């Protein structure tokens, strides 16, 4: 084993040397310096492997070395090990093999409880309902199960059968429901609430014909979903539109560009600049542009990445009024580079993107509030939600997202951003200029001020050009 380790280290030096020298800048470090650094790395690896007081896992040791290098870069560059790669791909694509339910832990029974079945999925067709307790999976009790335990069992290859035993509300006996897993595509284009047939209602105000569309993520199929929703609204005679990008962490750069192109006829959508890649820019095309109805876009401090590309594009082209809070400030592009025969991956920041005006979006470390970063709502349309407003928003949102026989609930919560948008658009439709008499911007007290935590970073986007 020691001999194999030493041979491996001998091959490691020329391999790393060849890979690194291809990108080395001659005026920074000479070739021989690179060789010495890599030689030191290989010798360190060999010494640890041979002489450390305890046996070491070579795989874990190498992954730790990779993580150590990445820690010297930015927060968005990281290594995705084999055991996390599937979950990462699912989060980016918003699709997986499963039965189509959202679950949580019921605190009273300590059992899995169905938050909501997803429309059109095996669980939905099989009669699984919101509030059902999942008592069994494949005949085995779920007592003490975590959400992760349920995901590990219920997810699987499409076509595979699985059965669950549920306890419906008011029932005393468990109902066994046989299901067949399918490819579940998580909807990323949502409405305000569900219709009676469980489909989304995208028309928020029937009287004034104001549409409402929520984008939760920018996945492979978001643009197609959006086009369908816009077509439905057009058939209903939509006259104004609200796009909600709040709490949207981003996603695919290609989707942000494609969606921006739906609403903008001409001009630059976004440009990218990188050290080892040529500057690129994407422009809008008139063909396929949606009708020029008044638009408002809702953003908040958790709208990031692709959300900022879309909102910045619509703002710079004066295509929409931006309402809410200053966005997250993530103006960097990551390439997802397969490693080890696509068993793992490296997510590496390779470029920065800039809005059509050329202004910076990225919030660099140490950036201050008065620095230029992120997307700022239009003047007169800024409102920072308090912690209580955010809590009430999520409670209201969760209740409306559930598919329940009782239908959408009556809510006492008035969404401040949504109200501002509705007042703005209805005033425009009535012939006004849409500008409120008083600024709706809210001054927070010291107790209400909130900061974005570094460890609550949003999902990063996959670059348009993957290596």
Nearest to 238 by CA among 196, 199, 187, 201: 201
Helices (H) and strands (E) in the chain, counts: 11, 21
The number of CA neighbours under 13 Å toward the Cβ of 62 is 12
Residues paired with 273 in a beta bridge? 352
CA 245 vs. chain centroid, Å, equals 11
How far is 330 from 350, CA to CA, in rounded Å? 13
Q: Does residue 54 have an active-site annotation?
A: no
Where are any strands of DSSP class E within 262-325? Answer: 268-273, 280-283, 295-299, 321-324
Task: Please identify which of the residues 132, 316, 415, 459 carries the catalytic annotation.
Answer: 316
Task: Please identify which of the residues 9, 219, 303, 305 carries the catalytic annotation.
Answer: 305
Q: Does residue 305 have an active-site annotation?
A: yes
**CB crowding 168-177: b at 16 or more within 10 Å, else e:** beeeeeeeeb
Nearest to 296 by CA among 247, 356, 374, 244: 244
**DSSP conformational letter for 121:** S
Q: Does residue 330 have an active-site annotation?
A: yes
Tell me if residue 432 falls in helix, strand or coil.
Answer: coil
In terms of DSSP bridges, do strands 200-201 and 268-273 run parallel, antiparallel, or are they unpaired? unpaired
Residue whose tokens read 């890599």: 38
How far is 375 from 152, CA to CA, in rounded Å? 39
Residue whose tokens read 């992760």: 148
Task: Please identify which of the residues 155, 185, 209, 330 carries the catalytic annotation.
Answer: 330
| Catalytic site positions | 305, 316, 330
């Amino acid at each position: 084993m020691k001999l194999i380790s030493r041979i491996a280290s001998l091959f490691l030096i020329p391999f790393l040397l060849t890979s690194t020298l291809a990108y080395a800048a001659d005026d920074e470090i000479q070739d021989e310096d690179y060789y010495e650094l890599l030689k030191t790395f290989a010798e360190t690896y060999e010494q640890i492997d041979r002489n450390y007081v305890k046996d070491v896992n070579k795989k874990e040791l190498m992954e730790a070395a990779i993580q150590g290098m990445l820690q010297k870069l930015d927060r968005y560059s990281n290594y995705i090990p084999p055991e996390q790669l599937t979950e990462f791909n699912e989060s980016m694509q918003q699709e997986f093999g499963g039965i189509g339910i959202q679950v949580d832990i019921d605190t009273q029974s300590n059992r899995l409880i169905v938050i909501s079945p997803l429309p059109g999925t095996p669980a939905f067709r099989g009669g699984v309902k919101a509030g059902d307790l999942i008592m069994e999976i494949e005949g085995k009790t779920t007592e003490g199960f975590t959400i992760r335990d349920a995901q590990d069992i219920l997810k699987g290859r499409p076509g595979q059968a699985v059965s669950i035993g549920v306890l419906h509300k008011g029932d005393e006996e468990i109902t066994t429901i046989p299901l067949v897993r399918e490819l579940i595509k998580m909807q990323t284009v949502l409405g305000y609430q569900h219709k009676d047939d469980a489909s989304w209602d995208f028309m928020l105000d029937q009287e004034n014909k104001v549409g409402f569309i929520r984008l939760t993520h920018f996945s492979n199929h978001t643009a197609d979903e959006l086009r369908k929703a816009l077509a439905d609204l057009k058939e209903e005679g939509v006259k104004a539109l609200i796009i909600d990008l709040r709490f949207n962490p981003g996603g695919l750069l290609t989707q942000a560009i494609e969606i921006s192109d739906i609403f903008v006829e001409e001009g630059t959508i976004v440009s990218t600049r990188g050290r080892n890649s040529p500057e690129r820019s994407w422009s809008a095309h008139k063909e396929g542009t949606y009708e020029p109805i008044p638009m408002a876009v809702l953003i908040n401090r958790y709208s990031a990445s692709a959300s900022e590309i879309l909102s910045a594009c619509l703002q710079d082209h004066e295509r929409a009024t931006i309402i809410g809070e200053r966005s997250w400030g993530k103006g960097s592009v990551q390439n997802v580079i397969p490693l080890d025969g696509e068993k793992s991956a490296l997510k590496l920041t390779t470029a920065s993107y800039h809005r059509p005006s050329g202004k910076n979006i990225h919030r660099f470390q140490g950036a201050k509030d008065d620095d230029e970063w992120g997307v700022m709502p239009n003047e007169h349309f800024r409102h920072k939600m308090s912690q209580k407003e955010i809590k009430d928003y999520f409670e209201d949102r969760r209740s409306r997202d559930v598919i329940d026989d009782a239908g959408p609930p009556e809510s006492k919560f008035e969404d401040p951003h949504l109200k501002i948008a509705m007042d703005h658009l209805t005033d425009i439709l009535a012939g006004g200029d849409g500008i409120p008499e008083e600024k709706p911007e809210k001054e927070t007290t010291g107790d209400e001020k909130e900061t974005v935590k570094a460890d609550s970073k949003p999902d990063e986007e996959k670059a348009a050009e993957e290596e």
